[in-house]
Amino acid sequence: MFRYNMNDSLYYYDPNHGNCLRIMNKVDKNNYIINGAYGSDEGKNGYWVAKAEKKKIFYLEGIKYNLEVNFFMKKKRTHGPILYAYMTGREIKWQDGNRWLQLYA
């Protein structure tokens, strides 16, 4: 079971999926649990959970990433179960072109 401190939570705005809130809860140095709501574009009400792991910088098809996110628990996806992203500053740039902006909380 994962335990986390709300002080270690990061809040993001997702413009591509219903302008929904995304909360990344830090589990340990390199692992996060992401909690989100299905957006209006996904045609479903409810919530989902994903696991994210921060990695050393790597390149896939010439694009830089440092985050691997496993959406296997999300019932409705617009992509495969694994999606890569680059987490930097107050932004997460996703493999599919989406960008989450960190909110001040």
pLDDT digits (tens, 9 = 90+) for 31-85: 999 999 988 777 767 889 999 999 999 999 999 999 999 998 877 777 778 999 9
Find the mean pLDDT for residues 93-103: 96
pLDDT band (50, 70, 90) for residue 3: low
Could you tell me the sign of the dihedral formed by the alpha carbons of 44, 47, 51, 52, in that order? positive
* pTM of the entire predicted model: 0.85
Question: Torsion-angle region of residue 94: left (phi > 0), alpha (psi -120 to 50) or beta?
Answer: beta
Query: Per the structure block, which two tokens stand in for 72?
Result: 């296997």
